[in-house]
């Protein structure tokens, strides 16, 4: 069986690029790091490290083992943290990775609600596009990943949850590699055009992509670009992509300068909206936002559940005062139902989808 301490050393060498830097990060002596690497090579019977000039680099086998070791160690660390929170040894912690437009809209509202109703929870936020967020989740660096898709269901997997269900055991679907997801909201995708066009004041641009087949297009991240290509193919043309950027502020600035047209989901327009653009929802085009967890950890004690931030994240609040009033009403109802006046159950903010 592989030694976890030696795997940690290998991961540190892979991450920091040298034995010296790994020793410094681990607070080990440099000969100790070298010793652990040599013992790990002996245990595996495989060359993991090789000289490269004055430094070292991982072999293909070393990189493979380091990647797998990072996931294993991440899950061990996550299990330790979950168990510590479960048994009350330390305050709860929620590490959340989310894509930029979610961090600019729904996540701050959820964080404010969490701070108000569960002040003991230590919330840590990381910006990451969906592929990186899922990698961080598998490796145990975050507890929850907010991701998006342009389809409500992954290929070949049917949603199994029941409408209105709030139990963690039934709140999502089992995905590959132990991932479980919960639909937080779905939002329209808008066609974005320049306000400098020839339309009259207040007029909306046509909502048919085929009307823009001759225009230049501005594409977004890989997933957004793939969705744009699919939408345009259904409209019968291949878009002439002139610019590519995953910065939704830059996309709007380029469109406002009449350098092309684009599509953006509603959260991007809510996070920041350029005054020089016009938008119209595309019929049938939606983006789906999910909260994803790894595995099915045990339910924490009643006063320390942290799922409320996800319920709150599914409610885009136009008026914070109204949202706070709704939450207080829900919490009072939950307290009466539970018969516990000191409950800090975060599930009070119920899941809703925007109109």
The range of the structural domain enclosing residue 269 comes to 187-287
82 assigned to some structural domain? no
**pTM score, whole prediction:** 0.64
Domain contains 86: no
DSSP state of 203: P
Same domain for 171 and 294, yes or no, is yes
- In a domain, residue 211? The reply is yes
The enclosing H or E element of 243 equals strand 240-244
H or E segment to which residue 9 belongs: helix 4-16
Q: Look up the CATH number of the domain holding residue 33.
A: 1.10.10.10
**What pLDDT is recorded for position 49?**
87
Q: Consecutive 10-residue runs of the chain (355 residues): their mean pLDDT? A: 87 88 88 89 89 83 90 79 57 83 91 81 89 86 90 53 33 56 91 77 70 94 92 94 94 95 94 93 92 68 48 49 45 44 35 34
d(CA 116, CA 112): 6
- Looking at the domain assignment, is residue 210 inside a domain? yes
Per-residue pLDDT, 196 = 79
Asked whether residue 76 is assigned to any structural domain, the reply reads no
Q: Is residue 54 a part of any domain in this protein?
A: yes
Locate tokens 């006046």: which residue?
Answer: 341
CATH code at position 246 = 3.40.190.10
**Residue 342 per-residue DSSP state:** T
Pair 113, 59 in one domain? no
């Amino acid at each position: 069986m592989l030694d976890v301490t030696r795997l940690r050393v290998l991961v540190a060498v892979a991450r920091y690029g040298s034995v010296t830097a790994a020793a410094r990060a681990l607070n080990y002596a440099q000969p100790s790091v070298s010793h652990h690497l040599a013992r790990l090579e002996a245990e595996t019977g495989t060359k993991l490290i090789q000289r490269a000039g004055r430094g070292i680099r991982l072999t293909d086998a070393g990189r493979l083992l380091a990647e797998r070791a990072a996931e294993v160690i991440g899950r061990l660390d996550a299990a330790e943290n979950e168990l510590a929170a479960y048994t009350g040894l330390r305050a709860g912690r929620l590490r959340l990775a989310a894509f930029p437009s979610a961090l600019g809209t729904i996540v701050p509202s959820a964080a404010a609600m969490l701070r108000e109703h569960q002040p003991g929870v230590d919330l840590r936020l990381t910006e990451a596009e969906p592929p990186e967020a899922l990698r961080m989740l598998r490796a145990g660096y975050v507890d929850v990943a907010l991701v998006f898709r342009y389809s409500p269901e992954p290929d070949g997997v049917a949603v199994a949850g029941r409408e209105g269900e709030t139990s963690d055991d039934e709140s999502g679907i089992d995905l590959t590699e132990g991932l479980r997801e919960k639909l937080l909201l779905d939002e329209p995708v808008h066609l974005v055009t320049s306000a400098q066009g020839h339309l009259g004041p207040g007029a909306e641009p046509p909502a048919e992509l085929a009307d823009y087949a001759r225009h230049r297009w501005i594409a977004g991240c890989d997933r957004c670009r793939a969705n744009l290509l699919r939408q345009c193919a259904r409209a019968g043309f291949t878009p002439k992509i002139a610019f590519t950027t995953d910065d939704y502020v830059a996309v709007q600035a380029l469109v406002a300068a009449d350098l092309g047209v684009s599509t953006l989901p509603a959260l991007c327009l809510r996070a920041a909206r350029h005054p020089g653009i016009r938008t119209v929802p595309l019929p049938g085009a939606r983006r789906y936002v999910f909260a994803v967890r790894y595995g099915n950890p045990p339910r924490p004690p009643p006063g320390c559940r942290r799922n409320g931030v996800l319920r709150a994240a599914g409610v885009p609040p136009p008026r914070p005062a109204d949202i706070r009033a709704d939450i207080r009403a829900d919490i009072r109802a939950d307290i009466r139902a539970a018969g516990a006046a000191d409950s800090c159950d975060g599930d009070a903010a119920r899941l809703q989808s925007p109109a």
